[in-house]
Structure 1
Amino acid sequence: MQTTRPAATAHLDEMIRTNMPLVGYEVSSMASRIPRHVPREDLMSAGLLGLTQAAQAYDASTGVPFDRFARRRIKGALLDELRSRDWASRSVRRGARRMQAAQAAFVAREGRTATLEETAQEMGVGAEEAQRLVDDVHRGTVLNYESLTEDGIDDILPSHEITPEADILGRERQAILLDAIAALPERQQEVITAYFFEERSMADIAAEMGVTESRISQIRAEAFELIRAAMTITLDDTPAPAEHYPNGRAARRRADYYDAVATASTITMRLDRVPAMAA
């Protein structure tokens, strides 16, 4: 006996078919900014999965247009696909943590940010090896900046038509981001590093730190706000956000943090730390 497909399922299929061009648009936009060895077909499959999940989860009562809702889901699915390729291998991550520790030791001893050569000496390796590690870390972590910045992937991943000015600004932005993470209070830095650079789950981090997942989520959100404010202040040379209680302890801590990020490195140091984007 022939059965009829439920109306809800037919409506879902229609939403997916009608909005399939969104997948092609997002894939084309991203494909020009990632290595050519990533198959376009894999990106299309991931994008279609994101579109399907968007159609299943969409609630029209929210008032958000479906295309806007779907594009965020599609972009998220594409980023998940790229991250799943593990651009930053475990060895690269170990090297990154080793370099981070060397830079922290240098700052503690000398009171300033180390140059690449000084970092290499602190690590006991040659400058060329340190530069290779910087390049590997840069390639491996660039996608994770999407979750930490407001500008989005189009302003972070290098374009083939990138101008020298955009190259310098992008490299400076990434270096300031690293300064901002390094200057975070210890607990926030641990959460950000574990979640974004080690790609651990919040449940895993919560268990290790002996707190609830909701507390980890709160710590992460607080770190986001600090990082975003510090990057805006440092890049745009703007005043810090107004405080309700400017003389309070929390306000003074935030002011000290913003100042630490702004003075952590000069533009020359920043450009030394982040390699030029491929044209």
Structure 2
Amino acid sequence: MTTRVKIDIQAVWLEFKKDQANQELRNRLIENYFPLVRFNAERVWAKLPDGVDLNDLISAGVFGLMDAIEAFDMERGVKFETYCVPRIRGAMLDELRTMDWVPRLVRSKASKLEAARKELEAAHGRPPTDIELSEKMQLSIDEFDKLKSEASAVSLVSLNKKWYETDSYKDVREIDVVEDMKGEDPTLGIQKRDVMKLVTKGLNRNERLIIILYYYEELTMKEIGQTLGLSESRVSQMHSSIVARLKDQLHRRRPEFA
């Protein structure tokens, strides 16, 4: 059943991209992905103070979904769900900003909180604790927690907001410059490989495997022993010996890294 639905949706996408003026096909896509709108609207709404209507967020999210459907490029190999969610949430945050739903009093308190944080950080040379901030602002812990929760909502940023203007037809938006925290830095990957080559140079097969399996694959001594056909105590002895030799080698080569 699941496979059939996926095939149908793929067929709808293909037909829609041939004729994007076809309202019926677009409505079928909107209906299929509407649960994503509701799910994200509820997540955003749950973090907001009282007074924001969930239906307003859903309506804004639908417009974000419609824009995503129009702009989606099937040839880029990206799942539509991955592509559309930031745009749905961005449309919701744009709507919140247009509504100016954050009361002026909350904005004022948020500014005072930030001023108190900066003052205490300058005085102590470190970020202040919540207790220090609450005492500075003469608030109880419960009052401070409420203020902190409300103030955090002031800093919401729309991912659809323009980051800077360009000469091309497409502006660069916040979502285009958000760092992918899950992606691996290629420079870091090269450094890891270089370090592994340096560390394992001059080691025999079993010694190299012990280092790689223990530090890179994060296996236990027991698991390494089972892999190499050695006892756990023997692996531990070899590991200690290898580490001692490596420390001596790196100590002698320290001038090279200065």
TM-score by length of 1: 0.41
Say which structure, 1 or 2, has more relative contact order (CA 8 Å, 6+ apart).
1
Question: If you compute each CA radius of gyration, which structure gives the higher value, 1 or 2?
Answer: 2
